[in-house]
Amino acid sequence: MLIAINMTEHFVSGQNATTFSFDQKEASKLLISKTKHAYVAPRTPIETELARIWAQILGYERVGIEDHFQDLGGTSLHATRIFSRLRDDLGFNLSRSLILQFPTIAQMAVYIENQQVSGFNVVTTASRQGRLEDDHSSFSR
């Protein structure tokens, strides 16, 4: 991950001392996907939501649909957070291991869309007690 650091030299007690400060605003400009290909914007509502969640969890200003999860610095903790957000924000109850099979937003969006079209509902429904019930959409954890 790239970090913007301001270096300032000071003259302290007859010696030069260099101090470092973190510039959050400048760093956020740099935190745009660092993959080897050009940015590809989301094309569908599902891609848009996936990109928003990935960017927030991974700490990027934006994430393209062809950016690879691991190239973005994604870890198992990031995957857990992403899939928790997918469940909480969108109602998609998916196995975290899917990140290994579908490591880009484009691939994951196609998987989700295909599951919905084929009748395999990846969306959970809220029960009367306020708990989420699984519609046979999650894999064993």
Q: What is the pLDDT of residue 136?
A: 37
In the prediction, which pLDDT does 129 show?
Answer: 30
Residue whose token pair is 């994951």: 108
| Tens-digit pLDDT profile for residues 36-66 | 678 999 999 999 999 999 999 999 999 999 9
d(CA 21, CA 69): 29
CATH class of 36-133: mainly alpha
The H-or-E segment that residue 45 falls in is: helix 45-58
Do the Cβ atoms of 58 and 68 come closer than 8 Å?
no
> pTM of whole model > 0.85?
no
**Counting Cβ atoms within 10 Å, is residue 69 exposed (0-12), middle (13-18) or buried (19+)?**
buried
pLDDT given at position 117: 73
Burial grade of 121 (CB within 10 A; 0-12, 13-18, 19 or more):
middle
Written as tens digits, the pLDDT of the chain (141 aa) is: 444 444 445 445 556 555 555 555 555 444 454 556 789 999 999 999 999 999 999 999 999 999 999 999 999 999 999 999 999 998 888 999 999 999 999 999 999 998 877 665 554 333 323 333 333 344 333
Domain ranges of the chain: 1-30, 36-133
pLDDT for the residue numbered 122: 54
pLDDT of amino acid 20: 57
- What pLDDT was estimated at residue 119? 61
Percentages helix, strand, coil for the chain, rounded to the nearest 5? 40, 20, 45
Nearest Cα neighbor of 45 from 99, 76, 95, 89 is 89
The pair phi, psi for residue 68, each rounded to 5°, is -85, 135
| pLDDT value of position 106 | 97
